[in-house]
């Protein structure tokens, strides 16, 4: 046993739990913890420009690699409330992050002290656990419990609030014998998997719907193996995009009201049986259960018991971690295949695959218009970035169109805030991804409003040498809200354009409003503005060169036409297409396989 400050015990536990990186903003009430971080020098720290930005950096860090847990740190009062959006975003998408806040001394908590707020009570609905540690000796065990909860069952965030005097108090603690608590994950049984395969075997046109739980469980390889063994096509949700590569013959497209492919919706509607693995049946994927469920039976496998039956009642439910379930599904499917008891699915899979190359199910992208249409922008991005790129995005027409037109070829290559969708998420999340992985090809994607929300975080990328490429599609509009306002016959308070008196005369005439190039350069980064499709590839090449030369984020701003309506609808069988459909194969995923896997 050794005597130490409680704040030092917290840092030592962080080290033992594998933390090597934190994001945050120091302040008076959390300075004792920062003093111990400074003394140890074992956990790297990135100084955010806004505490909400730190929480989103922690999210990006977690989402980038299996096993990561992002840590964000702030002082008392508004620092905690600023990080609530990050906690909500993490909770909604089952992402473990640890939020640490400072707090007023215990004796002043009931006296309305400066920046004293009951942040644990406020954060409780948005976390797996939120606590204010009132006894110094409980600090190391609170952190131990935090990591246990974040990793067990459905992953999610935790907040630990540390009063100033608790951090500074001395306690006895033996870090040398400390061990992380065992992680609990429910697992399917052999009997449950046998029944699930029996039900699948009775279906004529089955599909697998893979959710973000497959990504969280590092089970993408098993998902693809199970699909190949059974010949059953896969529809990934937005959170699982990349779990099966876009060009795999059994990748049947994404389904939904917005972030979907026409062929994905058509394949789902043609099915008679769906097995969902690690998914939530989110409403942007399903639309109404009445349409989504009609004419088909369902199995639902999820790590969280309360998710099964939450949206609609499946025909069979299994509580299991996605990897544990898929390991058994593969094992039993292999046994049945070896004994000749696995049903042939070639004709049905070929039907689903065929829709990916059918112009009736593809959207046109090759527009030559100036100002540019977003469809052409995404076509150019596919060609410029290839298959090994990782995209980071949040919400808006930019994200919806990206899901319709971009291609993703591996797990954790589409890093997206799926349910909460806070504007401003993209810049800090991309910085968190870059901090987690300095080498990957990283491209963030924002509309102009998302980009403006937390644009100050670009200075973090410049200061800490976190280079990445940021594509900004600028239509000077709140595009998604403008499109939604069509139902109210208005176009109200959604225009971002104005005559910026500081821009050159030819640029003022275009009415962009904010001069993103100057703002980006003022924050220590580089930027290029692009007006025509043929300028996109050279601009991206220049941006990639600058990232290497200057080691800072580089922004490529693409000027779009003001109004483009992107395909979406009220039901998966009622999606409105505003543009012409494809007339050739250029819109389909590149290098679609033409042979079936062994």
CA atoms within 13 A on the CB side of 261: 31
Residues in the chain: 598
Helix (H, G, I), strand (E, B), or coil: what is residue 343? coil
Helix (H, G, I), strand (E, B), or coil: what is residue 502? coil
Helix (H, G, I), strand (E, B), or coil: what is residue 219? coil
CB distance 461 to 552 below 8 Å: yes
Report the alpha-carbon distance of residue 303 to residue 58 in Å, rounded.
23
Active site residue 481: yes
Report the alpha-carbon distance of residue 143 to residue 582 in Å, rounded.
54
Q: Of 43, 481, 494, 517, which one is the catalytic site residue?
A: 481
CB distance 366 to 586 below 8 Å: yes
Q: Which two tokens stand for residue 506?
A: 């030819």
Active site residue 51: yes
Please report, in angstroms and rounded to a whole number, the separation of the first and last CA atoms in the chain. Answer: 59
The residues with which 529 forms a beta bridge, in sequence order, are 557
* Residue 276 CB coordination number (10 Å): 25
Report the alpha-carbon distance of residue 92 to residue 79 in Å, rounded.
21
Q: Of 13, 51, 445, 540, which one is the catalytic site residue?
A: 51
Q: Pick from 58, 124, 131: which is nearest to 101 by CA?
A: 131
Report the alpha-carbon distance of residue 402 to residue 465 in Å, rounded.
27
Active site residue 25: yes
Helix (H, G, I), strand (E, B), or coil: what is residue 303? coil
Q: Of 214, 223, 423, 572, which one is the catalytic site residue?
A: 423
CB distance 27 to 78 below 8 Å: no
Q: Pick from 369, 381, 364, 366: which is nearest to 560 by CA?
A: 369
CB distance 575 to 257 below 8 Å: yes
Q: Which residue has the tokens 């790590």?
A: 303
Q: Pick from 401, 394, 404: which is nearest to 452 by CA?
A: 394
Dihedral sign, Cα of residue 75, residue 80, residue 81, residue 85:
positive
Q: Of 12, 478, 552, 558, which one is the catalytic site residue?
A: 478
Q: Where are the beta strands (DSSP E) in 278-416?
A: 297-302, 316-319, 389-393, 414-416
Listing from the earlier edge strand, what are the strands of the sheet with 389-393? 414-416, 389-393, 441-447, 469-474, 554-559, 526-530
Q: Of 11, 12, 13, 25, which one is the catalytic site residue?
A: 25
Report the alpha-carbon distance of residue 252 to residue 569 in Å, rounded.
20
CA angle 163, 169, 173 (to 5 degrees): 115
Positions annotated as catalytic residues are 25, 51, 423, 478, 481
């Amino acid at each position: 046993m050794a005597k130490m400050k409680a704040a030092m015990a917290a840092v030592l536990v962080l080290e033992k739990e594998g933390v090597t990186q934190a994001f945050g903003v120091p302040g008076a009430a959390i300075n004792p913890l920062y003093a111990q971080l400074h003394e140890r020098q074992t956990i790297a720290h990135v100084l955010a420009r806004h505490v909400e930005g730190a929480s989103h950096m922690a999210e990006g860090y977690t989402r980038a690699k299996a096993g990561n847990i992002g840590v964000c740190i702030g002082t008392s009062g508004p620092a905690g409330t600023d990080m609530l959006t990050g906690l909500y975003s993490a909770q909604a998408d089952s992402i473990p992050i640890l939020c640490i806040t400072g707090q007023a001394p215990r004796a002043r908590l009931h006296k309305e002290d400066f920046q004293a707020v009951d942040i644990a009570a406020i954060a409780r609905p948005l976390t797996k656990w939120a606590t204010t540690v009132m006894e110094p000796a409980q600090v190391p065990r609170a952190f131990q419990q935090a990591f246990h909860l974040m990793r067990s069952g459905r992953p999610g965030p935790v907040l630990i609030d540390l009063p100033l005097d608790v951090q500074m108090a001395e306690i006895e603690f033996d870090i040398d014998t400390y061990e992380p608590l065992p992680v609990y994950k429910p697992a399917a049984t052999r009997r449950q998997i046998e029944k699930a395969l029996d039900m699948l075997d009775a279906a004529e046109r089955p599909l697998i719907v893979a959710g973000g739980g497959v990504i969280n469980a590092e089970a993408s390889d098993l998902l693809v193996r199970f699909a190949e063994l059974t010949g059953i096509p896969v529809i990934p949700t937005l959170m699982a995009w990349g779990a099966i590569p876009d060009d795999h013959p059994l990748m049947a497209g994404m389904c939904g009201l917005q972030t979907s492919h026409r062929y994905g919706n058509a394949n789902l509607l043609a099915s008679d049986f769906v097995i969902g693995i690690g998914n939530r049946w989110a409403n942007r994927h399903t639309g109404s259960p009445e349409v989504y469920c009609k004419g088909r039976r369902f199995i639902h496998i999820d790590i969280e018991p309360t998710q099964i039956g939450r949206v609609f009642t499946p025909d069979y439910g299994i509580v299991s971690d996605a990897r544990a379930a898929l390991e058994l599904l593969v094992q039993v499917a292999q046994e049945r295949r070896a004994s000749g008891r696995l049903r042939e699915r070639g004709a049905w899979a070929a039907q689903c695959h065929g829709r990916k190359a059918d112009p009736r199910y593809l959207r046109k992208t090759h527009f030559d218009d100036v100002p540019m249409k977003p469809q052409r922008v995404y076509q150019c991005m596919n060609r410029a970035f290839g298959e090994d790129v990782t995209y980071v995005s949040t919400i808006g027409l930019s994200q919806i169109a990206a899901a319709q037109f971009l291609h993703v070829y591996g797990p954790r290559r589409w890093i997206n805030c799926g349910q909460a969708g806070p504007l401003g998420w993209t810049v800090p999340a991309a910085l968190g991804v870059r901090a987690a992985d300095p080498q990957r090809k990283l491209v963030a994607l924002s509309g102009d409003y998302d980009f403006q929300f937390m644009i100050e975080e670009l200075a973090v990328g410049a200061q800490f040498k976190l280079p990445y490429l940021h594509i900004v599609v600028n239509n000077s509009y709140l595009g998604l809200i403008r499109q939604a306002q069509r139902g109210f016959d208005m176009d109200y308070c959604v225009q971002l354009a104005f005559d910026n008196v500081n821009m050159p005369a030819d640029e003022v005439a275009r009415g962009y409003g904010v001069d993103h190039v100057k703002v980006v350069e003022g924050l220590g980064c580089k930027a290029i503005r692009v007006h025509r499709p043929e300028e996109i590839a050279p601009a991206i090449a220049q941006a990639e060169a600058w990232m290497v030369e200057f080691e800072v984020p580089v922004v490529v701003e693409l000027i779009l036409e003001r109004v483009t309506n992107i395909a979406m609808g009220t039901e998966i069988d009622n999606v409105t297409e505003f543009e012409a459909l494809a007339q050739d194969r250029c819109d389909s995923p590149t290098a679609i396989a033409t042979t079936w896997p062994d």
